[in-house]
Amino acid sequence: MANVLTANGPRQLGFRREDHERPLEPGEIRLRSLLSGVSHGTEMNLYRGTSPFEDRTFDTDLRAFVPGDATHASYPRKLGYEMVSHVVEVGSGVDRVAPGDLVHTGTPHQDKTIVQLNGISDFGYPLAVLPAGGDPRPGLFVSLGSVALQAVHDALIKVGDTVAVSGLGAIGLLVVQLAARNGADSIIGLDPLPARRDLAASLGAATVLDPTDAPAVGAMVKQANDGRGVDTAIETSGIAAGLHGAIASVTVGGRVVSVGFYQGDALGLRLGEEWHHNRPTMVSSMGVWGCPHRDHPAWDRQRLTDTVVQLLYRGTLQTAQLISEIVAFENAVEAYGMIDTNGPGVLRVGLAYPGSEKLISEGEEPSDGVD
């Protein structure tokens, strides 16, 4: 049996048991979990009951949110989409992975999982094989890294561009690194928290600003950029006021890339100001839920994910300093409460599963075998 973390209502988490010991069907693999990461955007909105999925469902045929019903109830529901596991067993017809492989899957928080490889589509994150014997901790950023890389691709950054990154959480700090690698001449990072601004400066931001320091964020950014707007602003905070600041920061005809998962009414978004007067282009950067990459088929979900794995495990993307805490899976309920209370002060929380606690606490690398 598998222990599965389940949201039973807003801020109501618990564990339930599911059968993951059954014989595998063709195309399936059985996984033993090592680490999973908690998302501060999608997951915490589901946890708090502030997501649009609270009373509606996304009809993938209509591509529209429609009123929910008993068939598409918000609760109970599983949480999570950032899982690092060992492959325990493979079914017939599986030749991509073998027992003992270290893999990342976009699957929920649970200690055992069965995955149908033929069922992974553009609606989620495809399986990625991680380096054999590698540290599982960079794998906590494969899904978030895919979000960040998608955003930088959508930004169309050119060598010499100036870029503002609004919101310096885990995704924002990955965007800072990727934007610098993609040719940005100068990166301006914005976040209310000094610790996050310091991290951004250490990871490639030339200038860091506190958006609460000025009533007009756009003017503050432009003054810091020699009096002109940035070429591109990438907004990751998921706060409407942050999106307004990003719009206000770009030059005439500039580009705004929206990454955050916004909730409720857009209070603080004043479209009659810079949006109306400076004619920017705004792009929603979404890479799942059936949204193909804008350069598809040259770039598909698998290529994006595999590229992020290479960047993480080559050390091109630095992530060690982005992990705030790793706690035992059995303490997941308390971990969500801690993030809910101290969210802005927390970057990335990982959940460690039975058998991996020693590995994490002592920084050891996993063996190639499976317990």
The answer to whether position 348 is within a domain reads: yes
Note the pLDDT tens digit of each residue in 205-217.
999 999 998 889 9
The HSE-up count of residue 99 (CA atoms within 13 Å, CB side) is 8
Total tally of structural domains belonging to the chain: 2
Check whether residue 24 and residue 84 sit in a common domain. Answer: yes
Check whether residue 68 and residue 90 sit in a common domain. Answer: yes
| Percent of the chain scoring above 70 in pLDDT | 93
Q: What is the pLDDT of residue 67?
A: 86
Check whether residue 63 and residue 118 sit in a common domain. Answer: yes
Question: Would you place residue 368 in the very low, low, confident or very high pLDDT band (cuts 50, 70, 90)?
Answer: very low
> Which carries the bigger pLDDT value, residue 205 or residue 75?
205
**pLDDT(25) > 50:** yes
Check whether residue 93 and residue 157 sit in a common domain. Answer: no
Question: Would you place residue 366 in the very low, low, confident or very high pLDDT band (cuts 50, 70, 90)?
Answer: very low
Weakest mean pLDDT among 53-62, 140-149, 211-220, 241-250: 53-62
The answer to whether position 171 is within a domain reads: yes
Q: What is the pLDDT of residue 364?
A: 44
Single-letter amino acid code for the residue at 82: E
Give the whole-angstrom CA distance, residue 260 versus residue 239: 7
The SS3 call for residue 141 is: helix
Check whether residue 160 and residue 131 sit in a common domain. Answer: no
> Which carries the bigger pLDDT value, residue 315 or residue 214?
315
The answer to whether position 221 is within a domain reads: yes
| Percent of the chain scoring above 90 in pLDDT | 71
Question: Would you place residue 162 in the very low, low, confident or very high pLDDT band (cuts 50, 70, 90)?
Answer: very high
Task: Tell me the pTM.
Answer: 0.91
CATH of the domain at 353: 3.90.180.10
Check whether residue 88 and residue 12 sit in a common domain. Answer: yes
CATH of the domain at 170: 3.40.50.720
The HSE-up count of residue 278 (CA atoms within 13 Å, CB side) is 24
Q: What's the mean pLDDT in 48-60?
A: 81
The answer to whether position 308 is within a domain reads: no
The answer to whether position 126 is within a domain reads: yes
The answer to whether position 86 is within a domain reads: yes
Note the pLDDT tens digit of each residue in 335-347.
999 999 887 778 9
The 8-class DSSP code of residue 110 comes to B
Cβ contacts of residue 310 below 8 Å, gap of 6+? 316
**pLDDT(139) > 60:** yes
Q: Identify the domain boundary among 284, 304, 334.
A: 284
The answer to whether position 295 is within a domain reads: no
Q: Please check whether residue 120 is in contact with residue 126, taking contact to mean a CB–CB distance below 8 angstroms.
A: yes
Check whether residue 64 and residue 194 sit in a common domain. Answer: no
**pLDDT(47) > 90:** no
Q: What's the mean pLDDT in 75-85?
A: 91
**pLDDT(44) > 90:** no
| Segments forming the whole domain that contains residue 39 | 2-136+324-362
Check whether residue 49 and residue 150 sit in a common domain. Answer: no
Q: What's the mean pLDDT in 109-134?
A: 84
**pLDDT(361) > 50:** no
Check whether residue 88 and residue 164 sit in a common domain. Answer: no
Check whether residue 153 and residue 123 sit in a common domain. Answer: no
Torsion of CA 338, 341, 346, 350, to 10 degrees: 30
The SS3 call for residue 309 is: helix
> Which carries the bigger pLDDT value, residue 165 or residue 356?
165
Strand partners, 32: 86, 112
Check whether residue 73 and residue 124 sit in a common domain. Answer: yes
The answer to whether position 268 is within a domain reads: yes
Q: Identify the domain boundary among 284, 299, 334.
A: 284
Q: Identify the domain boundary among 232, 261, 284.
A: 284
Q: Please check whether residue 324 is in contact with residue 348, taking contact to mean a CB–CB distance below 8 angstroms.
A: yes
Give the orientation angle of helix 142-155 with respect to helix 170-181, to 10 degrees. 50
Strand partners, 64: 59
Check whether residue 124 and residue 156 sit in a common domain. Answer: no
